[in-house]
Amino acid sequence: MRKVSLPLWLLAGFLYVFMYAPIVVVIVFSFNAAKHGGPWTGFTTEWYAKLLDSPDKLKATENTAILAFASTILATVLGTMLGYGLSRYWFPGKKLFSLMMYIPVVIPDIVMAVAMLSFYALVRDWLGLFELGMTTMIIAHITFQIPFVAIVVRSRLAGMDPAIEEAAHDLGASSWQTFWNVTFPLMLPGVLAGAMLAFTLSLDDFVVSFFTTGPGATTLPILIYSSVKRGITPDINALSTLIVLASVIGTIGVTLLQRPAKHSGG
Amino acid sequence: MKSSRPGEVRFGEQLSARGQLYRSATTSGPSIVWVTIFLLLPLVGIGVISFLSRGESGGYELPFTFTNYTRFAGWGFFGYDILYPQIILRSIVLGTGTAALCTLAALPLAFFIAALPGRYKNLALTLVLIPFWTNLLIRTYAWQILLAPESPITWVATKLHLIAADAPLYPSEFAIYIGMVCDYLPFLVLPLYSSVEKIDWSIAEAASDLGADGKRVFWHAILPQVMPGLVAGVILVLIPAMGQFVIPDLLGGAKTVMLGNAIQQQFGPSRDWPFGSAIAFLGMAVVLVSLWFYARYAGEKGGDIL
């Protein structure tokens, strides 16, 4: 019925080129032999080899991985419980609370970042807790991940037929049995999708990490930012290429994972 | 997505009000406590700090004062200064400008993807998802390379007399817009596409059969149907775009300060937390109030808020 006209093809093509130009240029320049960036002088894989004997880059990779895994695991547990609780049980003031839970999703991340920074500073002055570093960064990431996990889990639960759980009850299963044998397996794809989302948000985050980190707890985005501020170097392009590669694999993986499911919820 | 009220039978079991409360506390409770302690209270905290004075060596101290807000509105130590009102205006223009440009680009792209046959559709959609999931910092700094004086883009722009021979494409306000639109385009395409997919084309056909020309069909029969996705996408772009500090920082040079940069500066080098808090708190208040209005609008239209 609808046909794609030639001008639309060209426009769409141009927009894809526009979206991919920065990604492609980073990949291409990571193989550029020129020492200080600049025009193309020849092909090399030297910068990738250099990454391996750069302790600060390896340390940043390690920190990023610890941060992403630790925060995602905790946020997935908390966010799943929240999503389940909000979709199933009532409590006074629930409407207001569920709206407030969405605040981390909607406010600009810099506002969230400085609020957390001030909070950590205050607690540190009074109690001596929360020296800025990995712990404060993990807490901050969990805080903005929880609502995203909850949203995905809730939308998965909303698409479920209540009759299935009713049937389990009618057949004599306890609430606990119903949850673990019926509800949980059905909501699992939503939980996994929520976890993937949380993980990616953590990997991508720069602003919140930048404000809540401390000495020795540099992550890859922070490392890239501070390097780029001093001038783009080829090894940063190599590092970025590897990160881009990870995102591409991740995106395609999730797309393929979600395909068989009819209601993937995300 | 309504949960059961006390005494109502849903999901196969009957729970009293106390039972519901107990279950809520054990499921939603931990997250509510967590987010309250680590985000909601800190947000109230910067609200309080914004009314305090700057401490001797950074930090904050009594007495309470309104100077942070009056300074933001332009009344500084040395009489009226247009600096901060200018920053506010520039950020609003940048946010709305980015959202407008993204809308112009996302509309044809969303219709293009929706019109493709099945297999290519998935491919085209995945191709939008990849930049969406790729680190924003990387996609931003790459424009420094693309817009550098020796890049082909600069060469073409000079040859076409779009820019003067020695005028740089970066750092500039132009570079900020390029980076912004490139970074946020996927955020608008994805929700818009999900609306375009649901379009009832028979309405457009009916309008056309009744004699409406292409323009009128688009404005009156198609656009209203994609409005929910468009509005959701614009919000997804507008809020982070107005608070952005990385993109202006990396592509705009030191001269083009936005609200995000101003907050960063006060919490970073300037060490004036009360003033930084005032900017951040005001920004948050504006966002939440506008979203509240949007939620009411979406509620009237029968849509879900999120």
DSSP string, B249-287: HHHSTTT---HHHHHHHHHTTT--HHHHHHHHHHHHHHH
Predicted pLDDT at A72: 94
CA distance B44 to A78: 23
More reliable by pLDDT, B192 or B73:
B192
Q: What average pLDDT score do residues B45-74 get?
A: 76
Q: What average pLDDT score do residues B195-224 get?
A: 86
- Write the burial class of residue A30 (CB in 10 Å: 0-12 exposed, 13-18 middle, 19+ buried): buried
Mean pLDDT of chain B: 81
Predicted pLDDT at A144: 93
Is B126 in the A-facing interface, judged by CB distances under 8 Å? yes
Q: What average pLDDT score do residues B264-288 get?
A: 85
| Interface predicted TM-score (ipTM) of this complex, two decimals | 0.86
B145: chain A residues, CB-CB within 8 Å: 25-26, 29, 37, 232
Do A37 and A232 meet the contact criterion of CB atoms below 8 Å apart? yes
Which residue in B1, B23, B31 has the most chain A C-beta atoms within 10 A of its own C-beta, making it the best mutation to test that interface?
A: B31
CB contact under 8 A, B28 and A79: no
Distance from CA of A192 to the nearest CA of B (A): 17
Predicted pLDDT at B166: 65
What are the residue ranges in chain A where pLDDT is below 70?
1-3, 36-38, 257-266
Do B266 and B279 meet the contact criterion of CB atoms below 8 Å apart? yes
Confidence class for position B1, pLDDT limits 50, 70, 90: very low
Q: Search chain B and give the residue with CA nearest A146.
A: B31
Confidence class for position B104, pLDDT limits 50, 70, 90: very high
pLDDT at B84 over 50: yes
**CA A208: distance to chain centroid?**
12
CA distance A78 to B133: 23
Q: Search chain B and give the residue with CA nearest A159.
A: B1
Predicted pLDDT at A81: 93
CB contact under 8 A, B42 and A119: yes
CA distance A86 to A19: 38
Distance from CA of A63 to the nearest CA of B (A): 17
Q: What's the pTM?
A: 0.86
Pairing of strands B79-80, B75-76: antiparallel
Q: Search chain B and give the residue with CA nearest A255.
A: B126
Is B206 in the A-facing interface, judged by CB distances under 8 Å? no
Is B175 in the A-facing interface, judged by CB distances under 8 Å? no
Predicted pLDDT at A37: 65
CA distance B284 to A217: 28
Q: Search chain B and give the residue with CA nearest A77.
A: B31
Q: Which of A1, A18, A146 sits opposite B201 (nearest CB)?
A: A1
CA distance A112 to A110: 5
Q: What average pLDDT score do residues B197-218 get?
A: 85
Do B65 and B52 meet the contact criterion of CB atoms below 8 Å apart? yes
Distance from CA of A50 to the nearest CA of B (A): 19
The mean-pLDDT minimum among B34-38, B72-76, B245-249 falls in B72-76
Backbone dihedral angles phi then psi of residue B14, each to the nearest 5 degrees? -100, 130
Q: Which of A173-182, A225-234, B176-185, B282-291 has the highest mean pLDDT?
A: B176-185
Distance from CA of B299 to the nearest CA of A (A): 14
Do B224 and B241 meet the contact criterion of CB atoms below 8 Å apart? no
Predicted pLDDT at A22: 92
A250: chain B residues, CB-CB within 8 Å: 133
CB contact under 8 A, A3 and B115: yes
| B62: helix, strand or coil | coil
pLDDT at B9 over 60: no
Q: Which amino acid is it at B225?
A: Q
Which residue in A18, A110, A222, A247 has the most chain B C-beta atoms within 10 A of its own C-beta, making it the best mutation to test that interface?
A: A110
Distance from CA of B70 to the nearest CA of A (A): 20
Predicted pLDDT at A217: 85
Predicted pLDDT at B82: 73
Predicted pLDDT at B79: 67
Predicted pLDDT at A19: 92
| B192: helix, strand or coil | helix
Q: The tokens of A95 are what?
A: 């409407």
Distance from CA of B129 to the nearest CA of A (A): 7
Which residue in A106, A136, A141, A206 has the most chain B C-beta atoms within 10 A of its own C-beta, making it the best mutation to test that interface?
A: A106
Predicted pLDDT at B97: 92
**CA A206: distance to chain centroid?**
11
